Amino acid sequence: MAAKDEHMILRHDKARYRDIAGHLVLHRRLRGSKYEEHKSGVSETLDEARIDWVTALTLLIQKLLSVISFPLLCLGHTVEFFLNLHSLNGGFFGIFWGCLTVSLVIPRRKSADFRSIICHIDGRYELFRSIFLSDFPSIEPLPGLDVNPFSLSMMASKLAYENGAFIRNQVNKYWKMHFVRFFNCWNKYLKNRGTQAFICCDKEEDANVIVLAFRGTEPFNAYDWITDVDLSWLSMGKFGKAHLGFMRALGLQDEKDVEIGFPREHEGHDEGKLLAYYAIREELNQLLDKHKRAKIIITGHSLGGALAILFPAILAMHERHDIINRIHGVMTYGQPRVGDAVFGRNVQAVLKSKYHRMVYRYDIVPRIPFDKPPVALFKHFGTCIYFTSWYEGKVVEESPNPNYFHPFFVFSMYLNAVGDLTKAFLLAYLQNDFDEGFVSLMYRASGLFIPGLASHSPRDYVNGGTMAKIIAHKIINKEE
């Protein structure tokens, strides 16, 4: 059984480029390096581990992302400002006319009409009444709810990228549901409010469903990407080893001892520095007391998907079966790996058949952090619905090219990027209910340079969910 204070931390900020290169060329041990920390004597395999290309590449990616973090954030704010300026004023002519008549609408990031880059890529938020539920019977409908749970989770995970006012407006006005709360939570290690989530119910009184959606990896937030690729982990004792970066995002207070980092109860809430796990758990407690029949759907895209599956794992560690037993499903989209094989087995035993993980084609994020022991221990688990295209999905154990950089898949990844871009142009003419705009097409074009990046958009998960026929009668072997 793993000790509760067992850990392995890679600190990219302490690693110099020459240190990484030197360790890789000379095949030195990680132990004793300036940038790696672990508890010696706990794992002989880790004590003897030497830096490999996976560890070196991860550190290099993190360092490069750290260098460009501020300009990337500025670029994102600029792009979103001008996209909103264009949309709020009705196009270039509207901007020109607004300047002439002193009626120009200036975008405000926290307003209900300000849309993120995710929404500009794909603005669909309507809920569908039937999404491949008949093809995949293990996703059970909720009594009293006329919306497919998959549709609700899919759109909620996408909506989580927007600001609180936008989410409230969408939930209350268009979904005709009840918005409960938007969470903007503190990350002690990033020293910012970097974790967002929201909760809504289908009704204000006697609700049938409570939806918890975590925000995912923001395209222009380098620290989100640094977290996604991180190989650091912390032991949860008998529950296995979990990704340290995702635990930090949920409110971890000590990165070397999980019992200190996540005590069963946390005293002294600071409204300015809410910790995601405790604030959300407290809100769910109150909602479950109020809505006696309600079930919980937990969802998220990208990093949000990782938090969606880690949240019930911490509940299980704290033996909060009063909440766990009310979970109807955990449904994630483009989720990175969260823990080792022991973590996967234990969480799957807790959630049973309630966990479903969606992967679209060569989406880069489900292939990280890497799975290459003894340093990179991360494994996927649970039911995986793998969309081979917009029209077909398969239930698989693991998606192809699990570590992304296998040379065998290079041609296929680029071919897929070209195919998706081509289909995006053609489907606008072939299907009346599907039309991609300029921003979406430009984002698709990024897949021609970094294959799998464009496939990470929530847009393709909506396309897969609304267009694909699911082959669910057997598990497709990952070698197929």
Active site residues: 302, 363, 456
User: How many of the other CB atoms lie within 10 Å of CB of 75?
Assistant: 13
Q: Output phi, psi for 86, to 5 deg.
A: -65, -45
Q: Counting beta carbons within 10 angstroms of the beta carbon of residue 352, is it exposed (0 to 12), middle (13 to 18) or buried (19 or more)?
A: exposed
Separation between Cα atoms, residue 230 and residue 70, nearest integer Å: 19
DSSP 387-400: ESSSSEEEEESS-S
Separation between Cα atoms, residue 168 and residue 147, nearest integer Å: 19
Q: Report whether 447 contacts 455 (CB < 8 A).
A: yes
Residue 413: name the closest of 421, 422, 404 by CA.
Answer: 404
- 254-269 burial, b at 16+ Cβ within 10 Å, e below that, comes to ebbbbeebbeeeeeee
Separation between Cα atoms, residue 245 and residue 37, nearest integer Å: 15
Separation between Cα atoms, residue 302 and residue 338, nearest integer Å: 11
One-letter amino acid of 198 = F
Separation between Cα atoms, residue 117 and residue 194, nearest integer Å: 17
Structure tokens at 319: 């033996």
Q: Are strands 241-243 and 295-301 parallel, antiparallel or unpaired?
A: unpaired
Torsion of Cα atoms, 435 then 439 then 440 then 441, to 10°: 90
Q: Order the strands of the 192-201 sheet from edge to edge.
A: 178-187, 192-201, 209-214, 295-301, 327-333, 355-360, 383-387, 392-396, 469-476
- Spell out the alpha helix ranges (H) of 250-380: 258-261, 276-290, 303-317, 321-324, 341-351
